[in-house]
């Protein structure tokens, strides 16, 4: 009995032990199985299978090890394990889009993955070893991967100066400046310019109260002959950098009343020569002649006009100055005359040049503006507002500051509110928990937040003061990218050292040259040693390039050098003295260290050399593919038919040896001419000269071409 019992017990105990040890083993096995099934290990196994199926498997598998791979850069706080799964990232043969992710190679970028890690540019969580943890916002980590569309924002965190590789970021930064965002917000590395919107101290003398009302209500409408065409977006010209403020009728009447009382200091009304008035008032073609002058002076280089062709309205002309299609119905004629004669008297920071007008031209052009650039229906929808009452003016004065008008527009004696909008200089590095999404029904990400704010400022809170901008999809992406680049000061000293700051090099020379330079605002279109616009050629080395007689002639009567260009240098009607002053300065100061003018003497060129050079030009190198001489040749490079009068021989030789040494970024490819070929080509080019008479006729042709373009 006992023995039996014992046997029974022990059998039971044995069974229990057996079962529990099986269970124990199973439980023990969980850990290795779980380890085996880890996400990154699965990717490693998949990569091995993938690589084995390819012809270059040996190279693909050369340094794959079954472990977590980590890039550790202590100075920059980088601990990136991304390469654990992204195993082919440095394998050039895996670049093709047909390679499945996560094994595709990284496109060739200037930063090597091993030296920089991944999260510096892509964000996300570097030490994570699971897909979701690394890529998405989780409870423990708020910075998700930056979508590739906005990745240029990460470049901008360190590269504060513009990079050619990041067009979207550059466009976004340009728009942030152009749209006057710094008027209300603090932005990283975008300084407040001297003038954001026009100064309104004298606005009452320029436009009527009804016009102000209409403009405040709907700043972006363009009406054509077929009815009302509303052109959304600032592309109607930089004037509509003015966004739409949602103003009530009461606010509109208050603001328009206040602004129409701002008259500035009354200037003297300019009286035109009565003889000219008498002659032209008898003729009926004054406005037509004015239009011709308007075109000949190349006003359209800076100003655009709306043209309707086949039912489609589009703007033709530049966007440096405001669009002028209806300016005749907008401005007061006396103001117009005073403005044309001296724009800086009304707006000290205006970029409009101070032309040398003859009374006749002044009369004709103003006549053209007043009679042809008009629209009798412009103010049709604006009510008759009458004379401003005191209470309206009081309301308007308060609103001017409260609505933020004063943040962009100066009025003498009015102080704007400091920091009107939130500080955005570190927006790009903000965590989701720091953002207020309010009632907006959007994904909780930084990108979605920025887009919602830009497309509909009221979507988060109805009390938002931000006005409405109508950005096109591409520009929305660009502005988003630029805002994402503003991450404030880098957290680590390693990153701090990487910041490439933007160079500020304003160039405003003094003296006689400085006066002419400021008068004609040369720097609006030309660059001088890194400062200025990029519409026209960089003139930093013009003194080494141009021959003085040609330069003076060109300044007095500009003509186009490149047949494909529509935008042209305006005709300033400069005096001889002014042209000489400019030519003196350019010749003495704006010299290239790469050109030694004294080293090349034109007399060394013989007709035999020129004949060889002609052969080289026409047959061996076929320069006519891009350059025109006479009536044949390409449109890409400048017309060379007068190059012997225009360019110095030293510049031609240096240019043929290495164009990029003289003008960085110029598109003429650097060739491998022998020294003899350089001499022969230069000899040939110096024989290309036009007589003054032929230049005249070419000019007449050019201006009629301009007329064709403008009326297109």
**Which chain residues interact with other proteins by CB under 8 A?**
12, 15-16, 19, 23, 26-27, 30, 33-34, 54-56, 93, 95-98, 107-109, 131-132, 136, 147-149, 151-152, 164-165, 167-168, 564-566, 619-622, 625-626, 633-636, 660, 665, 667, 669-672
- 23 or 380: CB nearest other proteins: 23
80: β partners: 71
With H, G, I as helix, E, B as strand and everything else as coil, classify residue 632: strand
- Its sign, for the CA torsion 265, 266, 268, 270, is positive
CB of 279 to other proteins, least distance (A): 39
- Given the complex with other proteins, which of 19 and 275 has the nearer CB atom? 19
For 50-160, strand residue ranges (E) read 71-73, 78-80
Nearer to other proteins by Cβ, of 119 and 289: the residue is 119
Q: How far is the CB of 161 from other proteins (least distance, A)?
A: 17
The least distance separating other proteins from the CB of residue 621, rounded to whole angstroms, comes to 6
Across-strand partners of 224? 227
Of residues 38, 69, 64, 68, the one with CA closest to residue 51: 64
Q: Which is nearer to other proteins, 132 or 380 (CB)?
A: 132
- Is 183 buried (19+), middle (13-18) or exposed (0-12) by CB count in 10 A? buried
Tokens 């040049």 found at: 353
Angstrom distance (rounded) from CA 543 to CA 594: 12
Distance CA 638, CA 643 (A): 9
Nearer to other proteins, 560 or 648 (CB): 560
Can you tell me the distance from the alpha carbon of 551 to that of 601, in angstroms, rounded to the nearest whole number? 20
Q: How far is the CB of 455 from other proteins (least distance, A)?
A: 17
Smallest distance from other proteins to CB 27, Å: 6
CA atoms in the 13 A half-sphere facing the CB of 22: 5
**Would you give the distance in Å from CA 380 to the centre of its chain?**
36
**Residues 75 and 493 sit within 8 Å (Cβ to Cβ):** yes
* 574, 522 contact by CB (below 8 A): no
H-helix or E-strand spanning residue 175: helix 167-178
Strands 628-629 and 632-633: antiparallel
CA distance 368 to 359: 14
Q: How far is the CB of 613 from other proteins (least distance, A)?
A: 16
Which residue, 93 or 606, has its beta carbon nearer to other proteins? 93
Based on CB atoms, which residue is closest to other proteins, 117 or 322?
117
Rounded Cα gap, residues 222 and 87, in angstroms? 56
* Cβ nearer to other proteins, comparing 384 with 632: 632
Q: How far is the CB of 591 from other proteins (least distance, A)?
A: 24
Residue closer to other proteins, measured from CB, 625 or 700: 625
Residues 6+ apart with CB under 8 A from 680: 609, 610, 612, 613, 616
Q: How far is the CB of 556 from other proteins (least distance, A)?
A: 26
Among residues 297, 298, 302, the alpha carbon closest in space to that of 535 is found at 302
Altogether, the residues listed in the chain come to a count of 712
Please identify which residue in the block is written with the tokens 């129409």. Answer: 260
Check if the beta carbon of residue 125 is closer than 8 Å to that of residue 117. Answer: no
Closer of 20 and 269 to other proteins (Cβ): 20
Min dist CB 508 to other proteins, Å, is: 30
Residue 583 burial by CB count (10 A; 0-12/13-18/19+): exposed, middle or buried? buried
Minimum Å distance from CB 318 to other proteins?
14
Task: Compute the least distance from the CB of residue 55 to other proteins, in Å.
Answer: 6
Smallest separation, CB 297 to other proteins (Å): 21
Distance CA 499, CA 71 (A): 21
Q: Which is nearer to other proteins, 26 or 588 (CB)?
A: 26
From residue 308, alpha-carbon distances to 304, 409, 706 in Å are: 13, 33, 18
Work out how close the CB of 499 gets to other proteins at its nearest, in angstroms, rounded to a whole number: 22
Least Å distance between CB 565 and other proteins?
Answer: 6
Q: Which of 354, 662, 682 shows the shortest CA–CA distance to 538?
A: 662
- C-alpha torsion 699→705→709→711, nearest 10: 110
In terms of CB distance, is 533 or 634 closer to other proteins? Answer: 634
**E strand or H helix at 695, and its extent?**
helix 692-710
Q: Which is nearer to other proteins, 188 or 481 (CB)?
A: 481
R_g over Cα of the chain: 34
Min dist CB 93 to other proteins, Å, is 4
With respect to other proteins, which residue has the nearer C-beta, 437 or 705? 705
Q: Which is nearer to other proteins, 119 or 560 (CB)?
A: 560
CA 223 to chain CA centroid, Å, is 28
> How many CA atoms does the CB half-sphere of 339 hold within 13 Å?
19
Torsion angles phi and psi, residue 331, rounded to 5: -100, 155
């Amino acid at each position: 009995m006992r023995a039996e019992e014992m046997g029974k017990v022990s059998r039971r105990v044995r069974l229990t032990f057996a079962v529990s040890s099986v269970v124990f083993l199973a439980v023990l096995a969980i850990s290795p199985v779980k380890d085996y099934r880890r996400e990154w290990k699965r990717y490693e196994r998949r990569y091995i299978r993938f690589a084995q199926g390819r012809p270059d498997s040996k190279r693909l598998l050369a340094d794959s090890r079954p472990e977590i791979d980590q890039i550790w850069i202590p100075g920059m706080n980088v601990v990136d394990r991304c390469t654990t799964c992204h195993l082919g990232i440095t394998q050039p043969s895996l670049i093709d889009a047909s390679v499945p992710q996560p094994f595709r190679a990284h496109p060739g970028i200037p930063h090597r993955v091993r030296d920089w890690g991944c999260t510096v540019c892509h964000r996300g969580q570097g030490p994570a070893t699971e897909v979701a943890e690394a890529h998405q916002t989780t409870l423990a980590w708020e910075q998700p991967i930056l979508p590739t569309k906005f990745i240029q924002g990460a470049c901008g965190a360190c590269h504060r100066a513009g990079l050619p590789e990041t067009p979207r970021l550059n466009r976004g930064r340009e728009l942030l400046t152009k749209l006057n965002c710094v008027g209300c917000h603090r932005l990283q590395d975008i300084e407040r310019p001297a003038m954001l919107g026009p100064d309104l101290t004298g606005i009452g003398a320029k436009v009527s109260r009804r016009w102000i009302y209409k403009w405040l209500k709907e700043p972006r409408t363009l009406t054509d002959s077929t009815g009302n065409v509303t052109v959304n977006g600032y592309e109607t010209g930089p004037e509509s950098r003015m966004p739409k403020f949602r103003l009530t009728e009461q606010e509109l009447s208050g603001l328009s009343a206040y602004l129409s009382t701002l008259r500035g200091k009354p200037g003297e009304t300019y009286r035109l020569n009565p003889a000219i008035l008498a002659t032209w008032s008898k003729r009926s073609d004054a406005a037509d002649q004015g239009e011709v002058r308007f075109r000949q002076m190349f006003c359209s280089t800076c100003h655009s006009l709306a043209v309707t062709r086949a039912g489609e309205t589009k703007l033709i002309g530049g966007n440096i100055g405001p669009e002028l299609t209806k300016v005749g119905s907008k401005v007061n004629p006396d103001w117009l005359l005073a403005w044309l004669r001296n724009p800086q008297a009304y707006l000290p920071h205006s970029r409009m040049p101070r032309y040398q007008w003859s009374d006749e031209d002044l009369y004709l052009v103003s006549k053209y503006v007043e009679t042809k650039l008009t629209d009798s229906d412009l103010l049709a929808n604006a009510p008759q507002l009458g004379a401003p009452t005191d209470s309206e003016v009081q309301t308007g004065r308060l609103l001017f500051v409260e609505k933020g008008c004063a943040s962009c527009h100066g009025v003498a004696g009015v102080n704007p509110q400091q920091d009107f909008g939130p500080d955005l200089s570190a927006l790009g590095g903000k965590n989701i928990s720091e953002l207020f999404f309010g009632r907006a029904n959007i994904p909780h990400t930084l990108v979605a937040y920025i887009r919602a704010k830009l497309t509909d400022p009221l979507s988060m809170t109805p009390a938002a003061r931000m006005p409405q901008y109508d950005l096109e999809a591409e520009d929305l992406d660009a502005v988003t990218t630029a805002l994402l680049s503003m991450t404030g000061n880098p957290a680590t000293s390693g990153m701090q050292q990487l910041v490439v700051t933007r160079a500020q090099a304003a160039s405003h020379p003094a003296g006689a040259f400085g006066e002419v330079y400021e008068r004609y605002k040369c720097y609006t279109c030309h660059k001088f040693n890194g400062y200025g616009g990029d519409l026209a050629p960089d003139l930093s080395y013009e003194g080494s390039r141009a021959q003085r007689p040609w330069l003076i002639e060109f300044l007095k009567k500009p003509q186009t050098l490149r047949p494909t260009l529509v935008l042209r240098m305006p005709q300033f009607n400069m005096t001889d003295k002014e042209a000489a002053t400019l030519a003196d300065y350019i010749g003495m100061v704006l010299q290239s260290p790469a050109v030694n003018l004294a080293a090349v003497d034109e007399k060394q060129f013989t007709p035999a050399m020129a004949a060889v050079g002609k052969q080289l030009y026409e047959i061996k190198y076929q320069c006519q593919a891009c350059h025109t001489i006479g009536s044949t040749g390409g449109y890409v490079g400048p017309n060379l038919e007068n190059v012997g009068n225009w360019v110095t021989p030293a510049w031609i030789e240096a240019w043929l040896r290495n164009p990029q040494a003289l003008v960085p970024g110029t598109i003429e490819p650097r060739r491998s001419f022998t020294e003899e070929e350089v001499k022969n080509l230069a000899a040939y080019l110096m024989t290309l000269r036009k007589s003054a008479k032929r230049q005249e006729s070419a000019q007449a042709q050019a201006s009629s071409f301009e007329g064709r373009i403008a009326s297109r």
